[in-house]
């Protein structure tokens, strides 16, 4: 892996990479002598097998020696980063060009045409978008990832993909852009519906991945009616991403005017707070209040009459 700053040197690197590819082919087939030896061994094995079949009476219905099981199909082609790594890892500053190599192995007996592409992260440029890999050969294809000047620092993910013979293989690409990191989280569009469900939107305003946590508290006319401690959310918020969430309130007050406070936190980020007002007036609550008022009025009327 090498990093080249954008500019004259970066342009030269890209030009070199986009030139016609010279496939670095590593043959994996056996040598001629080995193949001949294998052929002789197979013939000898066949003779021994036939003799054994005749001796043991292992014959089919026509009286011929029973056939051996069909050979297993050859292993499928593979695509992986060079040097046997599990994924591609590149690191550099914004405005740089990063290079690596993808190895495509064809263990079959026929040439294989492979189409190459990249997804997510940053633009991927291959030395050749289509490569024909000879039989029993590995082809090493260089590629470059261009990190634009406005790419925010932090971790970005994508993949390098190879497709051939009706199958696609995806190789994970991890890109880390150097620079100062900023963790920033905001809470927006908070509201409470009549059922007590709290809806809100979390927004990652920074350039690092956030793991948010949320706490909820509600204050009514007579005091606190909800106090839910901070808990982790089952999500990772990537830079620039908005996530709309809901918090259920199974037993909201039947009759009250409340203010709901929501606090969201994430490692490295300042706490984000938001509030929403709501009024609850269920039929049961109204009925209870009405009954209480009527009872109070009746008691007052009775007391006045007694005084007379």
Query: What is the model's pLDDT at position 146?
Result: 94
Contacts of 247 (CB under 8 A, 6+ apart): 197, 198, 200, 214, 216, 228, 262
Does residue 95 sit within a domain? yes
Q: What is the pLDDT of residue 24?
A: 46
SS3 label, residue 290: helix
Residue 138 region by backbone torsions, left for phi larger than 0, else alpha for psi between -120 and 50, else beta: beta
Are 112 and 77 in contact, with CB atoms under 8 Å apart?
yes
Quick one: pLDDT at residue 3? Answer: 43
| Pairing status of strand 24-27 against strand 112-120 | unpaired
Residue that is written with structure tokens 């979390």 in the block: 202
List the pLDDT tens digit at each of the 308 positions of the chain.
Answer: 444 444 444 454 454 444 434 344 555 544 333 334 334 444 434 443 444 444 444 445 555 566 777 776 667 999 999 988 999 999 999 899 999 999 999 999 999 999 999 998 788 999 889 999 999 999 999 999 999 888 888 888 999 999 999 999 999 999 999 988 889 999 999 999 988 899 999 999 988 889 999 999 999 999 999 999 999 999 999 888 999 999 999 999 988 999 999 999 999 999 999 999 999 986 554 444 444 445 555 555 555 666 66
170 and 266 part of one domain: no
Q: Do 211 and 80 share a structural domain?
A: no
Q: Are residues 207 and 159 part of one domain?
A: no
Those residues whose C-beta lies under 8 Å from the C-beta of residue 231, and which sit 6 or more positions away, are 213, 214, 215
Does some domain include residue 77? yes
pLDDT of residue 127: 86
CATH code, domain carrying 213: 2.60.40.10
Report the distance separating Cα 228 and Cα 288, nearest Å: 27
Q: Is residue 37 part of a domain?
A: no
- Cα dihedral 84, 89, 92, 97 sign: positive
Q: Which range of residues forms the domain containing residue 168?
A: 3-29+73-177
174 in Cβ contact with 87 (< 8 Å) = yes
Only one residue has tokens 């001949």, namely 36
Report yes or no on 169 lying in a domain.
Answer: yes
The total domain count for the chain is 2
Per-residue pLDDT at 159: 95
233: Cβ contacts below 8 Å, ≥ 6 apart:
202, 211, 212, 213, 214, 245
In a domain, 150, yes or no: yes
Query: CA 193 to CA 146: how far, in whole Å?
Result: 47
- Residues 212, 160, single domain; the answer is no
Q: Is residue 49 part of a domain?
A: no
Whether residues 209 and 237 fall in one domain: yes
pLDDT of residue 180: 87
Res 25: pLDDT: 52
169 and 206 in a single domain? The answer is no
Asked if 97 and 130 sit in the same domain, the reply is: yes
Whether residue 100 contacts residue 140, with contact meaning beta carbons closer than 8 Å, is answered with no
Does residue 193 share a domain with residue 141?
no
Same domain for 191 and 168, yes or no, is no
What stretches of 23-180 show up as alpha helix (H) in DSSP?
32-56
Cβ atoms of residues 214 and 226 within 8 Å: no
Asked if residue 255 and residue 147 are part of one domain, the reply reads no
Residue 52 lies in a domain: no
**Same domain membership, residue 15 and residue 90:** yes
φ, ψ of residue 195 to 5 degrees: the values are -80, -10
Show which of 148, 177, 206 is a domain's final residue. 177
Residue 298 lies in a domain: no
Percent of the chain whose predicted confidence (pLDDT) is above 70: 68
């Amino acid at each position: 892996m090498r990093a080249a700053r954008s500019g004259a040197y970066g342009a030269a690197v890209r030009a070199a990479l986009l030139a016609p590819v010279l496939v670095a082919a590593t043959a994996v087939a056996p040598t001629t002598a080995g193949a001949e030896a294998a052929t002789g061994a197979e013939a000898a094995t066949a003779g021994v097998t036939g003799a054994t079949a005749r001796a043991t009476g292992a014959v089919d219905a026509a009286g011929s020696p029973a056939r051996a099981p069909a050979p297993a199909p050859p292993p499928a082609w593979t695509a992986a980063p060079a040097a046997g790594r599990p994924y591609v890892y590149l690191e550099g500053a914004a405005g740089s060009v990063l290079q690596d190599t993808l190895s495509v192995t064809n263990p079959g007996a026929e040439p294989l045409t492979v189409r190459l592409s990249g997804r997510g992260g940053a633009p991927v440029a291959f030395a050749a978008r289509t490569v024909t890999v000879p039989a029993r050969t590995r082809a090493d294809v260089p590629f470059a990832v261009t990190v634009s000047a406005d790419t925010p620092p932090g971790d970005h993910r994508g993949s390098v993909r190879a497709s051939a013979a009706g199958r696609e293989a995806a190789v994970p690409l991890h890109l880390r852009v150097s620079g100062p990191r900023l963790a920033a989280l905001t809470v927006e569009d908070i509201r409470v519906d009549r059922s007590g469900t709290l809806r809100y939107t979390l927004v990652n305003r920074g350039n690092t991945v956030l793991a948010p946590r949320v706490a909820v508290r509600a204050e009514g006319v007579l005091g606190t009616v909800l106090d839910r401690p901070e808990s982790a959310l089952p999500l990772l918020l990537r830079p620039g991403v908005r996530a709309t969430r809901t918090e259920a309130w199974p037993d909201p007050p039947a009759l009250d005017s409340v203010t709901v406070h929501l606090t969201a936190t994430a490692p490295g980020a300042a706490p984000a707070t938001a509030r929403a007002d709501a009024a609850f007036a269920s039929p049961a609550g109204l009925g209870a209040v009405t009954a209480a008022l009527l009872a109070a009025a009746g008691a007052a009327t009775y007391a006045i009459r007694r005084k007379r």
